[in-house]
Structure formats: structure tokens, C-alpha cells
A and B are shown apart, each in its own frame.
Chain A
Amino acid sequence: MALRIPRALYDQLRQHGEATYPHECCGVLVGEFVEAGGKVVKAAVQCGNTRTDSPRNRYHIAPLELVRIQREALLAGQDIVGFYHSHPDHPARWSSTDLDEAHWTGCSYVITSVEKGRAVLTNSFLLLGEEDEKRFEDELYEVSAE
């Protein structure tokens, strides 16, 4: 399984999207890379959305938050394995903006559609390729008991 996420963290990231609705939420997935290209999520770190100018359709995580999360993850023997954000009243599918602004190749980008304040569908996409020919591929994920 490409991405394994505990139920509690899965619910947490979806609820984050409900809490910030009608604005986009965003956060970082911390965990471990395992064999055969898999990833196991150990923490979903809620982040602020710095796009206060357009939060209904844009998100941006402050680099300083990424620096601190990355540093703490490494100290704990873990890694940044992906990111999550929500699409208010919009499909749980990456947009051209999502692709243009994605730069963490090898990481999962998890998107939740939040319709009228309720989290509906959550999908995961794996970013592949180098910067000038990057692409998203649908990624299978498993919600585990723990």
C-alpha cells in the first residue's frame, strides 16, 4: 500500500478542512518511508494558511513552519512524507495550481473535498518527475486502525 494513515489522523485532517471551511486548510504529513516506496503517516501537523488574501481558493504554508517541522521530524528519526489541504465546494482532485505549486517530488499530496462544511472525499496524489516535467499520479491509500 502506497500510503498508510491511521484513522485518527485521517479523521483529523478531514476535520481540519471542516473547521476552516469555507477556506482551504493545509498541513504537513510526517512519518516514515517504508519498503517498496510506501509511506506511513505518524503525524498530521496543522499549519496556518498564509494566503489570507484568497483563502477560499488558495493555500500556502509558511516556509518557517516547514523548516521547524522538518527539523523536528529529523530529530525524531522521521521525515516529511506529504502534505494535505482541502478544496471547499470543489472536487478532491489536484488542480493546475496544485501542480504548479508542488515541488516535493516523492511526497503525497492529500486533498479533501469539503462540501457545505462537511468533508466528503479524500484522495491522495503522488508527485513524480523533475520540476520541468512533474506530474501527479493517483495514489492508493489505506486508513489503518493505528
Chain B
Amino acid sequence: MPIKVLIPTSLRPYAGKQSVIEVSAQTVGEALGDLAAQHPDLRKHLFSEEGKLRSFVNVYLNDENIRYLSADATPVKETDIVSIVPSVAGGI
């Protein structure tokens, strides 16, 4: 089914400069996979060489972090929004 993925500012150069991309998926994993298939340059910015989500990349299904749901296997429905947000931190 079609669902929306919100692309953070930093990744838009690799996503055709788009802020919202529609993908076809039944799970979050499929959504990210379709996203990377549509925009192959995104892949290395989202995933490690082992194919796992990079540690500083947070993926949310609506207001839930997928790491605390079923990760890639988290099912999605048509009104869901997947958000990608790299982490923000730092200090002295």
C-alpha cells in the first residue's frame, strides 16, 4: 500500500530534493527498501555495509521509534507516516 516517508533536510540531495516520498510497502522494512530502490544514493546514508540501519539514523512510524516496535517487520497502514531523523547531539 502507498505510504509517505518524510526525508530530513540532510538526505534530500540523495532523494531528488524531495521532502516527502511515497513508497509502496506492507512493513517499515519494505518502505525503506522501496525508498532505497527509488533513490539508490540514499542507501549508504541509511544503512551500514551489513545492511543495518546506521546507529545515528532514527526511523519513526508516526510517533513510535521502530527500534521499540518490530523494527523492519513493523506493519504499516495507509495513513501512517514514516519519519527519518538523524540524531542531534553534542557538547563541550
Contact = CB atoms under 8 A, between A and B. Distances in A.
Q: Looking at chain A's contact residues, is the secondary structure mostly helix, strand, loop, or mixed?
A: mixed
Interface in B40-68: 45, 54, 56-58, 60, 63, 65
Interface residues of B, number: 25
Interface string B51-92: 000101110100101000000000000000101011111111
A70 interface: yes
A101 B87 contact: yes
A1 interface: no
Contact of B8 (A57, A80, A97): A80
Contacts of A18: none
Nearest to A103: B86
B83 A70 contact: yes
Contact of B89 (A59, A79, A88, A105): A59
3 shortest interchain CB distances as A-B pairs? A103-B86, A58-B91, A98-B90
19 contacts: A24-B91, A56-B92, A60-B87, A63-B87, A64-B65, A66-B88, A67-B58, A71-B6, A79-B9, A80-B9, A81-B9, A90-B92, A97-B92, A98-B90, A103-B86, A103-B88, A104-B8, A109-B90, A130-B45
